[in-house]
A and B are shown apart, each in its own frame.
Chain A
Amino acid sequence: MTQALLMRYLLWPLVKFLGAFIVVQAIVAAMNWVERRLLGLIQARLGPNRVGWHGLLQIVADPIKFLLKEDIVPSSSEKVAYFLGPMLPLIPTFMVYCLIPFGPPPMFIAARVNVALLLVLALTSTGVYGIILGGWASNNKYSLMGGLRSAAQMVSYEVPFGLSIVGVLMICGSLDLVRIVDYQANNAWNLFPQIVAFFIFFVSMNAENNRTPFDLPEAESELVAGYHTEYSAMKFAFFMLAEYSAMIVNSCLVTLLFLGGWTMAIDGKGLTTQQLVSMGVLGGIIGLAIFLTKMMFFMFVYIWFRATFPRFRFDQLMDLGWKWMIPLALGNIVVTGVFVLIGQERLMYWIGLATLGAIGFHIFRKPVPAVKAKTAHEVAHAS
């Protein structure tokens, strides 16, 4: 009995966690290569293509380089905090892997918790401490400013990030990620009824991860390298690891909350969880593949954004967070509440679909023309 309990509650989850950990770390390492190659593709250049086939061994070469580099500790830094800075954000991000179902349960989830979503939010929001600590301990004004920016930014965007999920919870009626996914498989993706929440969640998650256009804490042209200016070698790699891991966690979350996770079904028809489970191991693999595809799409969008957008200024970022995102999220909660109250959730799906259609029509109406901006000269002569 004890042995079975141990198996069920300790050993088996540990194995699954290790599996998830290794897979996610592999994705993080691969993302490094994917990001650089994709940026190269977008920016009319090549990207890493020397080490191995199409530069694939870059994935290995980079960690080796980080490991072999000299680990410089500034003499005037606060040693303990300086050391803790890169470690702190890693621990909660790794813990989150236990809670995320990467495929149909019970195979692809290390620990199924009925308040998983809450726990995930709680854990991810602690990532900011490492950045503040690292920025402060470096004893460098640029690092300090980077850390402070990061703190303000993460605190501000934590609010719309959390609020945008409330609508999903009201519709699905659960904090359990598996049940949220199942609900979507039996109805439709939450993307449609919660299109506003999806938008807010997506923007906030970019801000949470300090990605362009919200990459102010590490804005190279302003703060040299922001909070990690003074970090080198493996400590620097840890910051990068934490950032990419957080990106993956957030991509997983948006997949689970809005895009139906590992299922591919509408109104209970298609590849629902039951369907996949009944298919055994094959079903598991299909579910995992669906999940990873959706997740990688969001990773791609991260990179796409990075290549496209300039950077916000700090006060503009705060404006956007407090004056637009939070009121919008609150409004979304009220509207969703009204619809749920009058029992017209179905109507929301159609509204969302229509909105998406309108957006799509607007974008793809005609081939996007090269913007013929008015030259300053024309402007001057028109007035």
Chain B
Amino acid sequence: MFDVHEMEINFGPQHPSTHGVLRVLLSVDGERIINAKPVIGYLHRGTEKLFEHMAYPQCVPHTDRMDYVASATNNLGFVEAVEKLMGVTAQIPKRAQLMRVILSELQRISSHLLWLATHAIDIGAMTPFFYCFREREQILDLFENYCGARLTLNCMRIGGMPDDLPPGWLDDLEEFTGKFDAAVDEYESLLTNNRIWKRRTVGIGVISPEEAIEWGVTGPPLRGSGVNWDLRKALPYECYSELDFEVPLGINGDTYDRYLCRMAEMRQSNRILKQCIPMINATPAGDIKAKISRVVRPPEGEVYHSIESPKGELGYYIIADGKSTNAYRCHVRPPSFVNLQALPAMAKGHLVADLVALIGTIDIVLGEVDR
């Protein structure tokens, strides 16, 4: 009887809450989403093509630019994949391993802080943004003191670390870890039991464990659905098997559980950091490089190696032809790209306002989605 018009809305690529240049083509009936189709590629820089034209050590700075809010974990995944390809994983000194763990856990915290800040501001809570940035700033200072860069760290090398920790760095780290739990309490006091926050997140974007695995979702979104799978536990790399931490799990697989998971993950990361400090003090200073050839020319073969990045499973698939110092093929398995694919399934039937919450809860970085 009535002429029902679906409205097409172009959500992005220039939009305050698409976290970069994501574009979502929305068909809406009023404000209810009938279909959401993510359109990506606006930040495609051909990183994989570049990798093929560069020697392995030259690739490390380029990995920074993919998930640019978590560059240390990107470095880690790449150098570990190349080390696996060369078969030198066991030779990495303990101190270098611990430094890698410290940097990647700090990076996990900083990435989660950025996620919380933007997620909260997407849902309209303005203040957590500034609180999160306050702590993130301290982490960036730590990075800066270690490697000189704050965002694109380029802080790992094939076979070890570029430099030893500067004097006093561990004291700064200890001071930070001592304060950080209280900071997480503060964020939680603003949001966790807030009724509006709960109404906006509980039951939104539910994804069952089976569905999550089917879509290849990894990281906090997978654990939010209750699947106990964290690469640091499942296939431990570096010295994670010696560290004591737990994997936070959700139950319902909704936005609220994913929020709780990430909050708990920050606490667990802090716990790891606290354990690392005495461990790294017990290792000889300066022992940060494996004795491997300076020219990286791995044998012919192909490996897939992945680590638990803040967003999920970050994998590198490298084919070496055995003759060249360049990778013949280097493919990146970006967690954001795969997790984003589940967005239409999560968004269907929700309102436009929920789409914003969902983009936030998947925690995408477009640099990584588009590479």
Direct contact of A and B (CB under 8 A): yes
Give CA–CA (A315, B199) in the complex, Å: 11
A379 CB–B CB distance under 8 Å: yes
Tell me whether A309 and B124 are in contact (CB under 8 A). Answer: yes
Q: List 28 A-B contacts (CB under 8 A).
A: A43-B126, A44-B130, A44-B131, A145-B352, A212-B126, A216-B353, A221-B16, A221-B121, A222-B356, A308-B190, A309-B196, A310-B123, A310-B125, A310-B197, A312-B199, A313-B200, A313-B353, A370-B182, A370-B188, A371-B189, A373-B193, A373-B260, A376-B257, A376-B263, A377-B249, A379-B260, A380-B226, A380-B251
Residue from B16, B125, B134, B196 within 8 A of A44 (CB atoms): B134
B311 CB–A CB distance under 8 Å: no
Nearest A residue to B7, CB-CB = A141
Residues of A that sit less than 8 Å from B by CB: 39, 42-45, 141-142, 145, 212-213, 215-216, 219-224, 306-316, 370-377, 379-380, 383
Give CA–CA (A307, B124) in the complex, Å: 9
Tell me whether A310 and B9 are in contact (CB under 8 A). Answer: no
Tell me whether A375 and B351 are in contact (CB under 8 A). Answer: no
Nearest A residue to B359, CB-CB = A221
B15 CB–A CB distance under 8 Å: yes
Nearest B residue to A319, CB-CB = B199
Interface size of B by CB at 8 A reads 51
* Residues of B contacting A43 in the complex (Cβ-Cβ under 8 angstroms): 126-127, 129-131
Instruction: Tell me the number of A-to-B contacts counted with CB atoms below 8 Å.
Output: 128
Q: Determine which residue in B124, B192, B351 has the highest number of CB atoms from chain A within 10 A of its CB, and name it.
A: B124
Near A by CB (< 8 A), chain B positions 327-365 give 351-354, 356
* CB of B50, distance to nearest CB on chain A (Å): 34
* CB of A80, distance to nearest CB on chain B (Å): 24
Give CA–CA (A311, B193) in the complex, Å: 15
Give CA–CA (A307, B260) in the complex, Å: 22
Nearest B residue to A379, CB-CB = B251
Tell me whether B31 and A42 are in contact (CB under 8 A). Answer: no
With A141-B9, A222-B352 known as contacts, the answer to whether A314 contacts B31 (CB < 8 A) is yes
Tell me whether B126 and A307 are in contact (CB under 8 A). Answer: yes
* Residues of A contacting B298 in the complex (Cβ-Cβ under 8 angstroms): none
* 3 smallest beta-carbon distances between A and B, as pairs: A311-B124, A376-B260, A373-B192
B17 CB–A CB distance under 8 Å: yes
* Residues of A contacting B248 in the complex (Cβ-Cβ under 8 angstroms): 375-377, 380
* Residues of B contacting A380 in the complex (Cβ-Cβ under 8 angstroms): 226, 248-251
* CB of A246, distance to nearest CB on chain B (Å): 20
Known: A306-B126, A373-B260. 4 other contacts (CB 8 A): A145-B352, A223-B352, A310-B120, A377-B249
* Residues of A contacting B199 in the complex (Cβ-Cβ under 8 angstroms): 312-313, 316
B261 CB–A CB distance under 8 Å: yes
B25 CB–A CB distance under 8 Å: no
Tell me whether A42 and B15 are in contact (CB under 8 A). Answer: no
B194 CB–A CB distance under 8 Å: yes
Give CA–CA (A371, B200) in the complex, Å: 19
Give CA–CA (A142, B197) in the complex, Å: 24
Tell me whether B264 and A376 are in contact (CB under 8 A). Answer: yes
Tell me whether A376 and B121 are in contact (CB under 8 A). Answer: no
Nearest A residue to B199, CB-CB = A316
B210 CB–A CB distance under 8 Å: no
Nearest A residue to B118, CB-CB = A221
Give CA–CA (A306, B196) in the complex, Å: 13
Residue from B130, B189, B200, B263 within 8 A of A311 (CB atoms): B200
* CB of A51, distance to nearest CB on chain B (Å): 22
Give CA–CA (A221, B119) in the complex, Å: 10
Residues of B that sit less than 8 Å from A by CB: 7, 9, 15-17, 31, 120-127, 129-131, 134, 182, 185-186, 188-194, 196-197, 199-200, 224, 226, 246-251, 257, 260-261, 263-264, 267, 351-354, 356
Residue from B7, B16, B186, B246 within 8 A of A370 (CB atoms): B186
* Residues of A contacting B121 in the complex (Cβ-Cβ under 8 angstroms): 221
* Residues of A contacting B267 in the complex (Cβ-Cβ under 8 angstroms): 375
* CB of A363, distance to nearest CB on chain B (Å): 15
* Residues of B contacting A215 in the complex (Cβ-Cβ under 8 angstroms): 124
Give CA–CA (A345, B129) in the complex, Å: 47
Tell me whether B124 and A371 are in contact (CB under 8 A). Answer: no
Tell me whether A377 and B131 are in contact (CB under 8 A). Answer: no
* CB of B115, distance to nearest CB on chain A (Å): 14
* Residues of A contacting B127 in the complex (Cβ-Cβ under 8 angstroms): 42-43, 307-308
Give CA–CA (A212, B121) in the complex, Å: 12
* Residues of B contacting A307 in the complex (Cβ-Cβ under 8 angstroms): 126-127
* CB of A302, distance to nearest CB on chain B (Å): 13
Nearest A residue to B14, CB-CB = A224
Tell me whether B196 and A377 are in contact (CB under 8 A). Answer: no
Tell me whether A377 and B264 are in contact (CB under 8 A). Answer: yes
* CB of B157, distance to nearest CB on chain A (Å): 35
Tell me whether A213 and B196 are in contact (CB under 8 A). Answer: yes
Residue from B129, B250, B257, B353 within 8 A of A222 (CB atoms): B353
Give CA–CA (A315, B16) in the complex, Å: 22
Give CA–CA (A141, B189) in the complex, Å: 36
* Residues of A contacting B124 in the complex (Cβ-Cβ under 8 angstroms): 212-213, 215, 219, 221, 309-312
* CB of B184, distance to nearest CB on chain A (Å): 10
* Residues of B contacting A312 in the complex (Cβ-Cβ under 8 angstroms): 124, 196, 199-200
With A306-B126, A371-B189 known as contacts, the answer to whether A222 contacts B17 (CB < 8 A) is yes
Give CA–CA (A145, B134) in the complex, Å: 35
Residue from A145, A223, A377 within 8 A of B246 (CB atoms): A377
Give CA–CA (A42, B128) in the complex, Å: 11
Give CA–CA (A221, B357) in the complex, Å: 9
* CB of A131, distance to nearest CB on chain B (Å): 17
* Residues of A contacting B196 in the complex (Cβ-Cβ under 8 angstroms): 213, 309-312
Tell me whether A376 and B249 are in contact (CB under 8 A). Answer: yes
* CB of A227, distance to nearest CB on chain B (Å): 15
Give CA–CA (A308, B16) in the complex, Å: 20
Tell me whether B251 and A383 are in contact (CB under 8 A). Answer: yes
With A213-B196, A222-B352, A313-B351 known as contacts, the answer to whether A373 contacts B251 (CB < 8 A) is no
Tell me whether B353 and A370 are in contact (CB under 8 A). Answer: no
Tell me whether A310 and B194 are in contact (CB under 8 A). Answer: yes
Give CA–CA (A373, B121) in the complex, Å: 21
Tell me whether B351 and A314 are in contact (CB under 8 A). Answer: yes
